[in-house]
Amino acid sequence: MTDFRDFVNAHKVRMLSELQELLRIPSISTDPGHNADCRRAADWLGNHLKALGCRTVEYLASQTHPIVWGVGPEVPGKPIVLVYGHYDVQPPDPLNEWTSPPFEPTVRNGNLYARGATDDKGQVFAIVKAFEAVMGRNRPPVNIRFLLEGQEESGSKILFDLLAREPERVRADAVLVADTPYYLPGWPAVETGLRGLCYAEIKVRTARSDLHSGLYGGAAPNAHETLVRILAGLKTAEGRIKIPGLYDLVQRPSKQVRAAWKKLPFNERKFLKDEVGAKALTGLKAYTVFERLWALPTFEIHGIKGGFTGDGAKTVIPAEATAKVSLRLVPKQSEKKVQKLLTAAVKKLAPGYADVTVTFVHGADPVVVDVDSTPIAVLDRAFTEIEGRGVVPVRSGGSIPIVPELAKEGAPVVLSGIGLPDDRLHAPDEKINVEQIWKGVRVFGRFFELMAEREGVEGASSNGETASSR
Amino acid sequence: MTDFRDFVNAHKVRMLSELQELLRIPSISTDPGHNADCRRAADWLGNHLKALGCRTVEYLASQTHPIVWGVGPEVPGKPIVLVYGHYDVQPPDPLNEWTSPPFEPTVRNGNLYARGATDDKGQVFAIVKAFEAVMGRNRPPVNIRFLLEGQEESGSKILFDLLAREPERVRADAVLVADTPYYLPGWPAVETGLRGLCYAEIKVRTARSDLHSGLYGGAAPNAHETLVRILAGLKTAEGRIKIPGLYDLVQRPSKQVRAAWKKLPFNERKFLKDEVGAKALTGLKAYTVFERLWALPTFEIHGIKGGFTGDGAKTVIPAEATAKVSLRLVPKQSEKKVQKLLTAAVKKLAPGYADVTVTFVHGADPVVVDVDSTPIAVLDRAFTEIEGRGVVPVRSGGSIPIVPELAKEGAPVVLSGIGLPDDRLHAPDEKINVEQIWKGVRVFGRFFELMAEREGVEGASSNGETASSR
Residue A455: predicted pLDDT: 67
Q: Which of B97, B214, B396 sits opposite A398 (nearest CB)?
A: B214
Pairing of strands A367-368, A320-329: unpaired
Judge whether A207 is closer than 8 Å to chain B, CB to CB. yes
- The pLDDT tens digits for B185-229 are 999 999 999 999 999 999 999 999 899 999 999 999 999 999 999
Residue A458 has pLDDT above 70, yes or no: no
Q: What chain B residue is nearest to A210 in terms of C-alpha separation?
A: B427
Q: Flag if B214 and A197 touch (Cβ within 8 Å).
A: yes
- Give the model's pLDDT for residue A77: 93
Interchain pair A312, B220: CB under 8 A: no
pLDDT at A336 over 60: yes
Burial-class residue A458 by CB neighbours within 10 Å (0-12, 13-18, 19+): exposed
The answer to whether B276 contacts A216, with C-beta atoms less than 8 Å apart, is yes
Eight-state DSSP code of residue A176: E
Confidence of residue A258 (pLDDT cuts 50, 70, 90): very high
In this complex, do A300 and B225 lie within 8 Å of one another by their Cβ atoms?
yes
Which residues does chain B have with pLDDT short of 50? 458-470
Residues 246-305 of A with CB under 8 A from B: 275-284, 289, 292-293, 296, 298, 300-305
Q: To probe the interface with A, which of B115, B119, B201, B224 has the most A CB atoms within 10 Å?
A: B224
Count interface pairs A-B at CB distance under 8 A: 285
A316 touches chain B (CB under 8 A): yes
Residue with more model confidence, B145 or A1 = B145
Please list every residue in chain B whose beta carbon sits closer than 8 Å to the beta carbon of residue A292. Answer: 218-219
Judge: B282–A311 Cβ closer than 8 Å, yes or no: no
**What mean pLDDT is reported for chain A?**
93
Q: Is A32 on the interface with B (CB under 8 A)?
A: no
Kindly indicate whether the domain formed by B4-194+367-468 is annotated with CATH number 1.10.3210.10: no
State whether B282 and A312 contact (CB < 8 Å). no
Asked if A219's CB is within 8 angstroms of B235's CB, the reply is: no
Q: A196-250+297-364: what CATH class?
A: alpha beta
Chain A residues close to B298, C-beta within 8 Å: 213, 217-218
The H or E element that residue B394 is part of is strand B392-396
pLDDT per residue over A37-49, tens digit each?
999 999 999 999 9
Chain B nearest-CA residue for A324: B309
Helix axes A4-23, A121-134, angle to 10 degrees: 140
Task: State the amino acid at position A66 in one-letter form.
Answer: P
The partner residue sitting opposite B221, judged by closest CB among A30, A235, A278, is A278
Q: Residue A461's pLDDT is what?
A: 38
- Domain ranges in chain A? 4-194+367-468, 196-250+297-364
At residue B456, the pLDDT reads 58
The per-residue b/e assignment along A177-212, b for 16 or more CB within 10 angstroms, e otherwise, is bbbbbbbeeebbbbbbbbbbbbbbbbbbbbbebbbb
Those of residues 323-352 in A touching chain B at CB distance below 8 A are 324, 326, 328, 351-352
Quote the minimal CA–CA distance from A469 to chain B in Å. Answer: 38
Measured between CB atoms, which of A221, A303, A398 is closest to B215?
Answer: A398
Cβ of residue A306 closer than 8 Å to a chain B Cβ: yes
State pTM to two decimals: 0.84
Say what the pLDDT of residue B256 is. Answer: 86
pLDDT for residue B180: 92
Q: Which of A219, A235, A313 sits opposite B293 (nearest CB)?
A: A219
Q: Residue A362's pLDDT band (boundaries 50, 70, 90)?
A: confident
Please tell me the predicted confidence (pLDDT) of residue A288: 96
For the stretch A110-126, pLDDT in tens is: 999 999 999 999 999 99
Distance from CA of B200 to the nearest CA of A (A): 8
- The predicted pLDDT at position A466 comes to 29
A304 contacts B218? CB cut-off 8 A: no
ipTM (interface pTM): 0.87
Share above pLDDT 70 across residues of chain A, in percent, rounded to a whole number: 97
CB contact under 8 A, A280 and B221: yes
Given an 8 Å threshold on Cβ–Cβ distance, is A326 in contact with B315? Answer: yes
Number of C-beta neighbours around residue A147 at 10 A = 24
Say if the Cβ atoms of B361 and A312 lie within 8 Å. Answer: yes
Predicted confidence at residue B312, as pLDDT, reads 78
Helix (H/G/I), strand (E/B), else coil: B207: coil
Identity (one letter) of the amino acid at B81? Answer: V
- The average pLDDT across A402-415 equals 93
What is residue B115's predicted lDDT score, i.e. its pLDDT? 98
Nearest to B61 by CA among B200, B154, B182, B162: B162
CA angle, A94 then A98 then A104, to 5°: 115
Quote the minimal CA–CA distance from B17 to chain A in Å.
28
Q: Determine the average pLDDT of the residues in A136-152.
A: 93
Cα A156–A158–A163 angle (5° rounding)?
95
Shortest alpha-carbon distance between residue A66 and chain B (Å): 22
Q: Which of A214, A218, A278 lies at the smallest CB-CB distance from B353?
A: A278
**pLDDT tens-digit profile of A174-228?**
999 999 999 999 999 999 999 999 999 999 999 999 999 998 999 999 999 999 9
Cis? peptide before A120, omega within 30° of 0? yes
